[in-house]
Structure 1
């Protein structure tokens, strides 16, 4: 029997009531999880294959790095389209189209015959992958409603947090045992299964209102994001923000984004990204937190394996395995956070997560050439627990105070902030590390491992600083859980009494007669 989700007048909690998630909602989460995990894993698998690809196609690093850069730019271009596309075509259609595009791109990448063809096909793959992740969050947020979103996000966030750890290991195994083409071919069966499941089980998401396409906004925002992220990528690769090949595109992209912001606040149509959502403190705090998480998480994922390889002499697979404690910490935190997130203050959970993340980073700020791996592994467990404890409530708190019709564009905005944060974090730490590593060789040959370790320690101080900067943003998050019961109003039901009580925190941002989407059998 088909299931159709629509915006209707029902309980604002979304998909049902009670403490347990409805089976239909759990099934939907599992369906999108199959598609999302392959995209998230692919992005990190390819990162360990660049050296092999360069040797296979007999090209230099400056050419083969476009395999990653092209994919990243494609993501930046399509993410702003998510909100409008869901309104126009529906979540299920866009999910199937994006999965199909990612599948086609994966097959083409696997049969690539040159570096230029691989780069072109990675752009195709990135266009599909860039839509899938924000689509996943939009579909689940619309189906779950605010009172259940936290627990649902705790389920689907596991691969998002684990893939940066597992990706390099899986990539190393595939390359060593099967060859580089299989890092793309491995996506094919998973995508086929994901498409079949979505076709059969995913409900149609009927949108109550469609808005015209913001062509001016798209012409400004998508290229602006792509150019800015390219500039950040070049700054990280060259180790210098002042290099004209990094500075010019970075400033150009930022200027285009600024013009988009001016356009979005003045246009009479609904802009591609509605900046007026930032008047909600919770959304503003969530967007800022996602930006800083991008800085800290992706920046650290650059430093951690490089430290193990350059200072400790580990292989790529060994370095990947040594990051496993962070994944363990994430899984431990997920078990607890998944039970508490819809019944506990998002602000409290995030602040606890920040404290754990800071504590887990301290040992790396003091790292040396022979620091105990047990100490570093234990620190990674703490860091993983902190990242998980903070990221889940942040994702769900982004929708506090918003109407269901605001969800698609809100998701696009949050994903953009995360993408920019990740790119900026990687670039900043790459530049910091490059400056610190200068002069760590003596006589032009012998490597001073102690000096190299100190260079990484300085860079790790920056990741700790990014975590501390998240505290003011965390204070903007709601002090009460989305599913908290509404305060009792006086029995007279007067307008004054209703005003004193305020809107139902379980259905934030809804006016009388307007509720979240619910799943209904057709």
Structure 2
């Protein structure tokens, strides 16, 4: 029987709750940026740091999760991260000025960046390898529904309460997760090998990933400067990888990427996360700017994908062990490719929202059959210190891929839109006299952008189909696995 026990279900629920808080806060404030501009009398360039500070904090913390878990125990560090996250959320909600709010968001990001990697370590370590798929159907939900639920919840809170509610809303669940961890998650011991902290590795990797993320997402910086920042970040990451390959106790064990199972599944995860999450900015722009509908309508149109994901994840967990990740993930990728292709074909300035909702369900179903089974497949043979490293590498790779995908999709769509509007961009749609012809040309730019999205998804399918699973590494006793927690 691969079903989770009652105790394991409680552990999974607690981890999912903590992880959801971290993921929600990446997107929940996006709808409030115009109100922040008015409240703090600041430009969009400055206000954008409310989002950027959180994102950079998360990315800076993720590489540290494995080392912290190994030295002090994943449960202990997870508890501290939850408490810091709750305190920073309360601080953001009570902010009296913009500087205070941005600083609180940075601390939020640092704590939030630890929650999902440590949650994966705890979840995988709490069950035998054959039940990791079941565990991930619960613990992995925040990574999928959080980005979609965030704007919807943000819009509701902003209309019914105030911008402060966007931050206060995460305090009670975070504290509830603390209680759950104290009650249900076993107090495992830290690693018996008290290896020294890899400070040099941290000084290479953390600034490297932050520089890459900043260069890709900070649109107010000049193009030349952004390229230089990205190149510098990549150089630091390359030096870290070379050093980590030879170091006896690196910050992250990048040698895992040479393993056939872990490495290729990580590639599939990156190749899908980049185009999928990168293209999520297109539909809200289509609904709000090209069709003139409200933010709430835009958020509601994200719900069908969430429903499709939820159903698909549960089904994928039940068939993964029987059919294997090659078939399950391959089917998910085929479904995602088909729904994206159909969206590209049927999209017009007045396409039925019912049709788009159905395609959203299909896209969500495909995503649910891709992301979680890929993560489970990647981690199926990881134990002990390798489990901690793998649990940090996977979300870090996905986060960087999302930043790359968002930057690439945005650049292509912006370039095509500028060409279609004579250099005026999307702002042309709000100008007096913007007619149906101009809107149709911008929609055409959207469709052409989806061609590139489709191409990368197809590449992910090719890699998945060419990857055959390595034999599972037997584990003598589940208690050995749990000790890493």
- TM, length-normalised to structure 1: 0.86
Which one of 445, 451, 461 corresponds to residue 441 of structure 2?
451
SS in 2 for 1:49: helix
Is 1:354 matched with 2:362? no
Does structure 1 residue 218 correspond to structure 2 residue 202?
yes
Residue equivalent to 1:275: 254
Q: Secondary structure at the match of 1:342?
A: helix
1:55-454 correspondence runs (5 A) = 55-206=38-189, 207-234=191-218, 237=219, 243-267=223-247, 269-366=248-345, 367-441=347-421, 445=431, 446-447=433-434, 448-454=438-444
Structure 2 unaligned spans of 5+: none
- Partner Cα separation in structure 1 for residue 179 and residue 467 of structure 2: 38
Contact preservation (8 Å) 2:133, 2:376: yes
Q: Report the more deviating stretch, 97-106 or 342-351.
A: 342-351
CA contact (8 A) 1:284 1:476 kept: no
CA contact (8 A) 2:125 2:482 kept: no
Larger Rg: 1
Counterpart secondary structure, 2:251: coil
**8 Å CA contact retained: 2:89, 2:171:** yes
Unaligned segments of structure 1, at least 5 residues:
1-17, 481-502
Higher RCO, 1 vs 2 (CA within 8 Å, ≥6 residues apart): 1
Question: Could you tell me which of 418, 443, 462 is aligned with 2:452?
Answer: 462
1:30 aligned residue (2, 10, 13): 13
1:40 offset after TM fit, Å?
A: 1.5
How far does residue 164 in structure 1 lie from its aligned partner after superposition? 1.9
Structure 1 pair 477–46 and aligned structure 2 pair: CA distance change class (3 A): farther
CA contact (8 A) 2:326 2:467 kept: yes
Alpha-carbon distance, 1:266 to partner = 2.5
Cα distance in 2 for partners of 1:457, 1:209 equals 54
What residue is the counterpart of 1:490 in the other structure?
Answer: none
- The Cα offsets for residues 407-432 of structure 1, whole Å up to 9 and x where unpaired, read as 00111111211111010011111111
CA distance in 2, matches of 1:476, 1:407: 25
Task: Report the Cα distance in structure 2 between the residues aligned to 1:516 and 1:251, rounded to whole angstroms.
Answer: 44
Task: Choose between structure 1 and 2: higher helix proportion.
Answer: 2
Encode CA deviations 1:60-99: one digit per residue, 9 max, x unaligned: 0110111111111111111011111111111111111000
Confirm or deny: 8 A CA contact 1:404 1:516 kept in the other structure. no
Matched residues, number: 471
Whether the 8 Å contact between 1:353 and 1:386 is mirrored in structure 2 is yes
Q: CA deviation at 1:519?
A: 5.7
Relative distance call for 1:441 and 1:518 in structure 2 (3 A) is: closer
Shift of residue 516, structure 1, vs aligned partner? 6.3
CA contact (8 A) 1:46 1:68 kept: yes
1:380-435 Cα distance to aligned partner (Å, 9 max, x none): 11111100011121111112333333100111111211111010011111111110
